[in-house]
Structure formats: C-alpha cells, structure tokens
C-alpha cells in the first residue's frame, strides 16, 4: 500500500528538485498561462466564437492589421466606428413617406474607414410589387455629395455593404469623372471597377489623380440613408446598426472574412491543449503497457509483439494520416485525430519501455513475486508499471509538442475538425488566401507563434521532468 506520508514525502522531494530547474518553472508558468487562456476563452472573447467562425463577419473589416500597428507606422488609420441601434434612432427623421437617417461622421484620420455597413434593416410590404427602397449618400465637408447606392429594394431583413460592390465602384468612378473631368481608358476603368478601394476615394480630396492616389479629406461628413416607403410598406429600424469598419481591428487584426484573429487564437488554444494532452497521455499509456507486456511474456509473444511494433514504426505516418483524413470524408473529428495520433505514436515508447521492463523483470523482488504465485495482472500493474512511471511522466510532457504539431499540420492541410477553431485551420485559410504573398503578416505570425509556444511549454516541462525523474537517463 502507498502511504499518504510517503507520497507527500516523495512529492515534496520532487518539488525540491524541480524548483531548481529554471526551464521547468518557466514551463509551469507558460502552462498556467495557456490553461487560463483556454478556460477563459468565452470570457476573454465571446462565447459563440466556434459557431460564428464558420460565417462571414459582415460588420468587421476584412484583412486589416491590428490597431497597435499605427504606433509604429505613425499613420492614423480609421478605427472601427459603430453606431448602435439606440444612438441611430437619434439621427432618424421622417418626411412624409421618406425616412432619412443622417449620421454625422468626423473623419480625422489619414486613412478613411474600409466600408460602410448597414445591418438589419427589415422591410415589410403588403403590396407584392412595392418594396421599400434605400438610397445611400455621403455628404462631404467640401459640400459635394456622392450617391453610393440608389433605389436598393429592401426585402426582409437586409444588410448593406458598399466597399466591395462593383456597381458602387462604377458610381464612384462616374462621380469622379464628372467632378474632375478626367478621361479613363476602358481597360483602366475595367480594372478600377474590380479593384478600387471605394471608400478611400469617397473620403478623398477632389483632384484629377484621386483614383490612383487618393489624399484623405478630413472633416465632418454626413452618411445619409434615405428610405422610401410607398403605401403599404414599412421598415423596422429598431435593430439597425450603422458601422464604419476600420482600417485596423482588435489586438491581432482580421482575416479575409472579417473574423477577429485574436478570438480565433484564444479559442484555438483549447484544441491544441486538448489534442496535445489527450494524445500524449493515451500514447504513453499504450506504449508503456505494450512494452511491459512484451517484456513480461517474453519468448514468442515478445517476438511477435516486437515484429508488430516494427511494422507500425515503418509505416509513414503523415501520408497514412492524410489518407485516413480524406477517407473520413475530408475532415477528421477531434477524437479521431487523438485516436489516430495515438495509433501511430506509441511505437517509440513501447520500445524503450520494453527494454526498461526487461531490467525490472530481472530484479529479485519481481522474481520473488512470480515465485509466490502472484498473477500476471498484479505483477504488471503493481510491480512493473509503477517503476516506469517517472519515465512515463516525462514522456507525456515530451509527447505533447509532436501531437500539437501533428494536429496543426493536418488542419493546415484542410483535414481538421470543421466544427472547431484551430490554429492550423487559421494558417490553412491564410495559405489559401495567399497571406504570405499579400503581406498579411498578422494572419500568419500569431497562429504559428502560438503553436510554437504551446509546443515549447511542454518541451520545457518535459526536459525538466526528465532531468529530475530520470537522472540515469539524463544523458541519453
């Protein structure tokens, strides 16, 4: 029987030794940090991120860097500006059958907002032909007025986004041509219709080269939304929000669907930690028992088990994992990843555990137990496995990084669990969107650093544990 006093004693001995391992302490601090992040994810960000992650985040700017970037570049970029429903009501006035929303906006930045988004306008009509229609204009500080959208029919609940709309781009280009009198050759115009950064021109000083090189015009703008409500129709603006999406967002920017990368990174920690720890623990348990069993039975059983072990070791695991991933319909669920990584991961540990178990088996007390007629299970569980525990604990920690890296790699290839937010998937999306080509560093660097940092946490813990628990193996 293990006595409590002994346990407490050995634990305090262990802690005394462990405290002297600086890397181990750093590992523990990092581990605590990650656990806090993983548990606190719903409170640090929002609780519905995993469901929301699959959608496009309309009211967020697309592929913009973090807000703190401005500190280094010295350029002031428009931040996210939201007019919530309550505040919006203040700007609403009704003129006959027309509803006018006039939102003032003080543009005092070098780079204007990315987009104008109107969320949740619901239109009702009893007449099938007539629908409420919306016109969006911007009144500029120089007295000019641009109509971005005119006569948009509102059916049901509608969201309006203007920056990536080619008809809005055409309207803006025509406005510029009319105001400055410039001529555009057709290929150039066609190119502009697909690539123009609309709002940079809307918020620019009037000049002939404002399409190519817009200079921000600072001052008081008015975003004017006119909604015509013919007879029999009505609109409900009680939930309507107006958003001027920023040129920067949050702590870590956004991706091309407008998803907040900070939220993604925070939630991704859950998957990494779960997969890493679950896989490592299972792998080591399987490996230890396999090795001990092989050593205990010896002879032909051992020979057979070792042949099987060699067989598993020689299977190229990543290709097979990829094959299995596509076999499961292109996506592997979390528990399947854990299972697969365990199936391919126990091999090395089994080999070492077997050789260690052979040494233990030769010791007199085990022989005595066998001679006294102790059962197989008792000898394996009571006498052999506990001797291997120190090795097992260190191995668990050392195995986490490879599991974390393996999961990230599979997700990076697009084979991960689609219901989860993972760092590998974020990098997969980044690769697909050509983040490296386009220089979206905030989309590539943080997830990779996070993977590396989790891996490092467990490498630090593992090596420290190894040094304390297995002084004999220290130099292997």
> Is the separation of the CB atoms in 109 and 76 below 8 Å?
yes
Q: Closest approach of Cβ 275 to other proteins, in Å?
A: 14
Q: And the tokens for 456?
A: 């490092």
Instruction: State which of residues 310, 359, 368, 389 lies at the interface with other proteins (CB under 8 A).
Output: 310
Interface pattern 121-160 for other proteins (x via CB under 8 A): ----------------------------------------
User: Smaller CB distance to other proteins: residue 224 or 452?
Assistant: 452
The phi, psi pair for 248, rounded to 5°, reads -140, 160
* Cβ partners under 8 Å of residue 170, min gap 6: 193
- Residue 314 binding other proteins, by CB under 8 A: yes
- Residue 463 binding other proteins, by CB under 8 A: yes
Binders in 411-430 for other proteins, by CB under 8 A: 412-413, 427, 430
Near other proteins by CB under 8 A, which window of 115-123, 222-230, 249-257, 408-416? 408-416
Residue 130's CB is within 10 A of a number of other CB atoms, namely 15
Question: What is the C-alpha to C-alpha distance for residues 127 and 137, in angstroms, rounded to an integer?
Answer: 27
> Is the separation of the CB atoms in 202 and 138 below 8 Å?
yes
> Is the separation of the CB atoms in 284 and 462 below 8 Å?
no
- Residue 468 binding other proteins, by CB under 8 A: no
- Residue 397 binding other proteins, by CB under 8 A: no
> Is the separation of the CB atoms in 175 and 142 below 8 Å?
no
- Residue 409 binding other proteins, by CB under 8 A: yes
User: Long-range contacts for 435-444 (Cβ within 8 Å, ≥24 apart)?
Assistant: 438/63, 440/63, 440/65, 440/253, 440/255, 441/65, 442/65, 442/66, 442/69, 442/252, 442/253, 442/261, 443/63, 443/253, 443/255, 443/261
User: Smaller CB distance to other proteins: residue 14 or 441?
Assistant: 441
Interface pattern 176-215 for other proteins (x via CB under 8 A): ----------------------------------------
Pick from 276, 277, 312: nearest CA to 291: 312
Task: Calculate the CA dihedral of residues 339, 341, 347, 350 and round it to 10 degrees.
Answer: -60
User: Smaller CB distance to other proteins: residue 30 or 130?
Assistant: 30
- Residue 265 binding other proteins, by CB under 8 A: no
Residue 125's CB is within 10 A of a number of other CB atoms, namely 19
Binders in 317-376 for other proteins, by CB under 8 A: 318-320, 322-324, 326-327, 358
Instruction: State which of residues 250, 345, 401, 416 lies at the interface with other proteins (CB under 8 A).
Output: 401
Which secondary-structure segment (H or E) carries 24? helix 22-44
Instruction: State which of residues 76, 207, 333, 431 lies at the interface with other proteins (CB under 8 A).
Output: 431
Provide the binding-site residues for other proteins, judged by CB under 8 A: 23, 303, 306-307, 310-311, 314-316, 318-320, 322-324, 326-327, 358, 401, 405, 408-409, 412-413, 427, 430-431, 435-439, 441, 444-445, 447-448, 451-453, 455-456, 459-460, 463, 474-476
């Amino acid at each position: 029987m293990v006595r409590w006093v002994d346990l407490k004693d050995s634990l305090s001995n262990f802690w005394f030794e462990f405290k002297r391992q600086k890397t181990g302490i750093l590992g523990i601090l990092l581990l605590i940090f990650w656990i806090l992040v993983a548990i606190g994810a719903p409170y640090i960000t929002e609780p519905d991120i995993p469901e929301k992650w699959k959608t496009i985040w309309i009211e967020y700017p697309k592929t913009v860097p973090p807000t703190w970037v401005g500190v280094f570049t010295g350029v002031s970029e428009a931040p996210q500006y939201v007019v919530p429903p309550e505040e919006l009501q203040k700007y609403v006035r009704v003129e006959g059958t027309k509803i006018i929303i006039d939102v003032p906006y003080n543009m005092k930045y070098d780079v204007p907002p990315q987009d104008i988004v109107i969320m949740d306008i619901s239109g009702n009509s009893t007449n099938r032909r007539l629908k409420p229609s919306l016109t969006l204009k911007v009144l500029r500080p120089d007295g000019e007025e641009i109509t971005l959208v005119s006569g948009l029919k509102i059916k049901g609940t509608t969201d309006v986004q203007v920056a990536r709309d080619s008809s809005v781009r055409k309207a803006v280009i025509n406005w510029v041509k009319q105001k400055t009198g410039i001529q555009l050759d057709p290929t150039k115009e066609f190119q502009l219709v697909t690539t123009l950064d609309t709002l940079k021109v809307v918020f620019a000083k009037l000049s002939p080269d404002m399409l190519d090189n817009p200079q921000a015009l600072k001052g008081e703008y008015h975003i004017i939304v006119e909604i015509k409500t013919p007879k029999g129709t009505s609109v409900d603006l009680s939930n309507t929000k107006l958003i001027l999406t920023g040129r920067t967002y949050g702590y870590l920017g956004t991706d091309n669907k407008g998803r907040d990368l900070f939220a993604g990174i925070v939630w991704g920690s859950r998957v990494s930690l779960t997969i890493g720890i679950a896989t490592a623990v299972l792998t080591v348990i399987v490996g230890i028992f396999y090795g001990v069993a092989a050593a205990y039975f010896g002879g032909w059983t051992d020979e057979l088990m070792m042949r099987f072990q060699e067989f598993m070791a020689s299977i190229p695991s990543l290709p097979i994992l990829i094959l299995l991933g596509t076999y499961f319909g292109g996506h592997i669920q979390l528990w399947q990843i854990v299972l697969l990584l365990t199936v391919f991961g126990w091999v090395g540990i089994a080999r070492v555990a077997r050789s260690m178990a052979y040494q233990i088996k030769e010791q007199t007390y085990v022989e005595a137990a066998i001679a006294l007629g102790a059962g197989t299970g008792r000898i394996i569980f009571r006498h052999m496995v506990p001797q291997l525990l120190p090795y097992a604990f260190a191995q668990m920690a050392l195995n986490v990084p490879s599991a974390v890296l393996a999961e990230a790699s599979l997700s990076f290839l697009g084979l991960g669990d689609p219901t989860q937010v993972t760092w590998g998937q974020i990098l997969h999306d980044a690769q697909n969107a050509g983040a490296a080509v386009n220089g979206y560093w905030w989309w590539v660097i943080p997830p990779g650093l996070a993977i590396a940092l989790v891996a490092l946490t467990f490498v630090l813990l593992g090596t420290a544990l190894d040094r304390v628990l297995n002084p004999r193996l220290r130099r292997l």
